[in-house]
Amino acid sequence: MSISQQVTYSLDFDARHRSRKVKPATTEQRGPDVGCVSRIARLLALAIRMEGLVREGEIRDYAAVASLGCVTRARVSQILKLLNLAPDIQEQILFLPPIRGLNERTLRPISKQIDWDEQRRLFQGLARRSFGDRELANASFTTSTGSAAASSRSLKSRPFRSGNPISPK
């Protein structure tokens, strides 16, 4: 004598698609949100963080960083080359509002330059093309101490601050 059992259950195959919000199509161009951090600023902060973790011995080497981040070693190398930029350019990237056309790929030729004065000249040309002269003259940022505001038109050489500004958790 065999007893048969029947199990009934339902599967919802569309569950993962319900959480996505559908944005209505608009024809207007939206500017960056206030308080929005640009992608290049996030990449530069990531480069500072990765370099600090390797320097402090938290992570063995950059190959381990690549495997932890699920990216190639070449991509880690591209991101870390942002650290070759002059410190004042790095500061502008971190604190200026997002600039259209300013990304890691457009900064590669600038970061290849050894001379910081040449980097500054190239960065100003890139910023003028991407941001426009009028807006560039009005753009200002506050340094991390909050005491000085500098125009991006006048690039002053600031001393490099040693130490990792982003401590590991």
Write out pLDDT tens, residues 26-61: 444 455 555 688 999 999 999 999 999 999 999 999
Does residue 59 fall inside a structural domain? Answer: yes
pTM for the whole structure: 0.60
Q: What is the CATH number of the domain that holds 121?
A: 1.10.10
Cα atoms in the Cβ-side hemisphere of radius 13 Å centred on 60: 5
- In-domain check, residue 55: yes
- The structural domain count of the chain equals 1
| Closest C-alpha to 153, from 88, 101, 100, 107 | 88
Amino acid at 87: P
- Residue 141: its H or E element: strand 140-142
- Please check whether residue 15 lies inside any domain of the structure: no
Q: Which domain holds residue 71?
A: 35-146
What's the N-to-C CA distance of the chain in angstroms?
Answer: 63
Predicted pLDDT of residue 16: 55
How many angstroms separate the CA atoms of 160 and 121, rounded? Answer: 19
Which H or E run includes 151? strand 149-151
Q: Is residue 161 part of a domain?
A: no
Indicate whether 126 belongs to any domain. yes
